[in-house]
Structure 1
């Protein structure tokens, strides 16, 4: 009978010790999270959408122009990828026109297919005037103009921001999952 109580007491002590250790880990993790991420991980930000056109004849809006995971074709519209902003924006305008025409042909509103074509022309004329054509955060308005972004003190007509600041490492999207985008300083 004594061995039975000893075994039970030993098991209870082991459970309490494990629970105490788990509480310490939980408290340490809570403190780490309260101080901010120190592991280089950042929560995913809202996807950047470069769509500039807000016309919606019949309620059909232009699809978003978002960043793909392909560095050679960084622009994405409806799952299709494109090498440059102008081509992607043109596809977004065309997709909007097709959706609009589909609604007009189904009698879904008080507008004609010709209204969809006029909206498509307006959308395509606005491509050249889009304020932002690049996902590059350092490019400024209008989409960059290439270069290797190495702070070489080239004035570029007065558009070079923070030329005297210390060189910041470029960040490149390496991978992502449902919760995080993983960046690597290169």
Structure 2
């Protein structure tokens, strides 16, 4: 059961964020979390529901779990939303990491950066510098995501022994890339709309 701890937590967080608030105050909404966590243990066909989710998503990166936790805390009123500047810093950071890692997995390059994650001393230095930069920029969420992912890797909290799997997964990569593309398209459409003469 403990082997699926991450899947149970992911199930509860995703379900909580996907469900509408139904007009409930944050205190009542907080009751939903342990209820959804309990639901994740319900066995269907010999497996808990969380295991079926794991079949679709695999184990999410620690950074993604922390992002889901932060979004949950914002919804419950425990934390404040990030500033646009801090949000863009994280979108660009994880999008850049995804563009560095995933082209090789698609066979687009001969260099395989995923192998670096098995002996990640250079990566640890780079991520440490990035975490420090985010800390200096007062991007507490970003610094915590990188720092706690590294801490989780040092304690082998996931089944993987590759550092990349603690930092990045397709979910957070697609979200960041999609958010950047959406913002770019929206800005382009708004610019075109301003350029159209009135009454045209």
- Tell whether the structures are fold-level matches, with TM greater than 0.5: no
Structure possessing the higher radius of gyration over alpha carbons: 1
Structure 1 length-normalised TM: 0.27
* Higher helix proportion: 2
* Higher strand proportion: 1
Structure 2 length-normalised TM: 0.26
